[in-house]
Structures are given as C-alpha cells and as structure tokens.
Structure 1
Amino acid sequence: MVAAHNEKDGRQRILSAARSLFGSNGFHQTPMVDLAGAADVSVGQIYRLFKSKEEIIAALVRDHADQWCNDMAELRQRLDAGGLSVERTFEEVLLYGIDEEEDGLAFDIMAEAFRNPAVGETIGDMCARFREFIRYFACAANERLTGDALDAAEDLVLACLFGLNHRGLSRPRIGTAQTAQRSARMIVAALRVS
C-alpha cells in the first residue's frame, strides 16, 4: 500500500515538474536528469513510471482532459438546472481553455503532436471527448442544429479553443475575461443563425 502511494506521489511530482519544465524550456530541451531533479525522484523512477517523454506528455494531456471533462460535466449540470445561460456556459468553456500560464507547454505539446503520431492520437482522443460536451452546448444554443451544421459547430468551437489558448502571441488588447465573454456571445449568436 505504501509503495502504491509513493508511486502515485512520484508520478504526480514528475507530471508537475514536467508541466513546468516543458512549458519553460521545451519538451526536447529538458533532459531527464533535470526532470528527475525537479521532481525529486531518480531518473530510474521516471522510467519505471513512464516509458518515454512522449508517454509523459500523453499523461499530461490525459490528466488535463480528465479535469476539463469533469468541469464541462459540471457546466452541463448547471446549464440543465438553469443555473447558467448558454452564453455563460460557453464563456466558462472558453475561460478554461485560455490558460496563459501554460502557453509554452501547450505550444510544445501541439508541435510534438504533429511530429509524433502517438501524441497526436492522444490529442485527437482528448478532442473526441470534448466534442460530446461542445455538441450538447451547441444544441442548447440552437436545438435545430443537426448533421453537417452541428459537426461544423463542433469544429468552430474547438478551433476557437485552440486559437484562444495561444492568444498571448497576438498581444491581445483586452483581458482574458472580456475575450471569453465577447467570444462566447459571438459563438452563441453564430450558432443561433445556423
């Protein structure tokens, strides 16, 4: 039992250190020895828990996707209960997607997804999970959405999420909250006329 707890704790420390180091130094520029030092584990323990850096990235993406899906499930419940408007629901989704502190990590993961099919597959799986929630929220904005129009709505919202996640490069003129609020209004308005 203690060994399982230590393994879980070591895994979490490795992922936390990887999130920080990969985000600031880059995935390929972070040696395993630096990751081990930051996580306060041995390089051997890293390789006992993860086969490669790619597996660490996949774990980071899966952990992030799990948390985000839990949060979107909560948004869905609040929307269904009347605690949120559809505009506010999309605003919350967009706010979650705009993580300015992890811009570097997100860029590095996306770049690795294009180079490495396993990482790309993990990102694709993550998006498939998000699509279910996005589809539901889109139908809440316009119950007449079906077929290609609904598929296009999913693509549009996912594209907005990916783009807004990297908005820091464009030197935005308005704050994160205002961007999410106005973007959510635009998305909902577009969905309603589709």
Structure 2
Amino acid sequence: MNAPPITTTPRDRIIDAARRLFMSKGFHSSPMAELAESARVSVGQVYRLFANKGDVISAIIEQKTSAQQRALVAICEQLESGHLTIQAAFEQFVNNALTDQDEGLSFEILAEAHRNPRVADTIHALCGDFREAIRRLAAVSHPEFGPRELDASEELLLACLFGLGHRSLSQPRLSDDETAHYAACMMIGAMGALRPQVQEPALHMSLLP
C-alpha cells in the first residue's frame, strides 16, 4: 500500500507528531528517533529544526496559544460589531476551552515548565499576549470598567478557561453546550459584581430650631 502524499512542511509534521507522542507516551518517554519516524523525517532533520525536545514543546505552545488568541480576537471583533451578544460571546469563549483536544498534553507541558526554565519563559511570554486578548473581551463587554476591574476580570476569565479546559477527568454531569451556557452566565454575573458602585449622595437633614 502506498504511503499518503506528504502535503505539510517537515516542521509542521514534527510538531504534529510530537503533539501525539507527548500526549500518549509523555515527554520523557518519547525519543527523538521515534518522533522522527512518526513525522516521516530523519533524526538529523529534527535536530536541524529543533535543538532539543524543549524547543519542540515551545513550538507546540506557540502554535496552540496563537490559535487560541486568534479565536478570542475573532470573538471580540464579532462582539464589537454587534454580530454576537455578550452571552453568545462568552458561550463561544467557553466552548473553545471545552473542545480543546489537548487536555493531556497541557498537563505534560505544565509539568515540563516547572522543570525547564526555557519552557516556562515561553509560556510566560505567550500568556502576556493571551491576557491582552482576554482583557479586550472584558473591556468590550463592560466598557465602564476601569483598570482594576479589568485586572480582576482577566484573572477570573483565565482561571475559568484553565479549569474548564481540564474537566474531563472530573466526570462532568453536563454536556458541553450546557456547561458553556451556565459557565457564561456565571462569568457575566461575576463580572457584573465588579461593576464600579455609584455612591448615593448623602442625605443631609437640617435640624429645626
């Protein structure tokens, strides 16, 4: 049987193969030779493109985070243009986390980040860009928010995003659509509680002589 035609670049094939191997076998149990075979390239070509497996993980993080950021920017643009309601925008935001197929890989990457400062630095740098996109979503949905409310919203939405993206092992009782709906309601409600409070003018009662 003939092998299927190769239509992607060697770099993309290595990243895709690494994603599958690291998720199924773990980072340290995936030798470069097996990675090369799975990607249908030579070991030498792997090392010409990536200095080590840490570089491969960094490339996976960059690819994944860039895709998430583009999706979030698209949600913000649709919300700004009126093509999405606030509820629909947040449901889509949650659904993007729920449909992530790399849950196991995320745990592997986070574990490696605690061992490898370079991987940690990659995550820190890319999280900065992703935070800006999340902050934009908060600002578009709540234009009355000041810097502190936006800071709080950013932390809240990031925490929800990470938690919802790693829920499968908790045996969820709701479908993805139900979870997206209720999670969006809770996020919007929590952010509403951050809304700056307008101080009521004090009532001054004059004392009669």
TM-score > 0.5, shorter chain as reference: yes
Q: How does 1:1-194 map onto structure 2 within 5 Å?
A: 9-99=9-99, 101-194=101-194
Question: How far does the alpha carbon of each residue in 1:75-130 deviate from its partner, in whole angstroms, 9 at most, with x for none?
Answer: 12111111101221122122112245311111101111121111111112222111
Q: 1 or 2 for the larger relative contact order (CA 8 Å, sep ≥6)? A: 1
CA distance in 2, matches of 1:99, 1:140: 24
Q: In the alignment, which residue of structure 1 is the partner of 2:201? A: none
Shift of 1:69: 1.7
Q: Percent identity?
A: 41
Instruction: Answer whether contact 1:21 1:30 (CA < 8 A) is retained.
Output: yes
Measure the CA separation in 1 of the matches of 2:62 and 2:21. Answer: 18
- What TM-score results when the alignment is normalised by the length of structure 2? 0.85
Large movers: runs of 4+ above 6 Å: none
Q: AA paired with 2:34?
A: D
C-alpha contact (below 8 Å) 2:76/2:140 kept by paired residues: no
How far residue 190 of structure 1 moved from its aligned partner, in angstroms, is 0.9
- Which residue pairs with 1:3 in the alignment? none
TM (normalized to structure 1)?
0.91
| RMSD over equivalenced CA pairs, Å | 1.6
Distance 1:13 1:110, change over 3 A: same
Q: Which deviates more, 109-118 or 44-53?
A: 109-118
Tell me the secondary structure at the aligned position of residue 160 of structure 1: helix
Segments of structure 1 that go 5 or more residues without pairing to the other structure are 1-5
Moved more, 87-96 or 142-151: 142-151
**1:48-87 deviation line (CA, Å, top 9, x unaligned):** 0001111111101111111122222211211111110122
8 Å contact 2:79–2:86 — kept in the other structure?
A: yes
- Alpha-carbon separation, structure 1, partners of 2:125 and 2:34: 29
Work out which of the two has the higher radius of gyration on C-alpha atoms and give 1 or 2: 2
Deviation sequence 1:121-169 (CA, Å, 0-9, x none): 1112222111112112112332232233221210111111111111112
AA at the equivalent of 2:137: F
> Gapped runs of 5+ residues in structure 2?
1-5, 195-209
Greater share of helix residues, 1 or 2?
Answer: 1
Equivalent residue letter for 1:119: V
Alpha-carbon distance in structure 1 between the residues aligned to 2:175 and 2:100: 11
Q: Partners of 1:46 and 1:175 in 2: how far apart?
A: 40
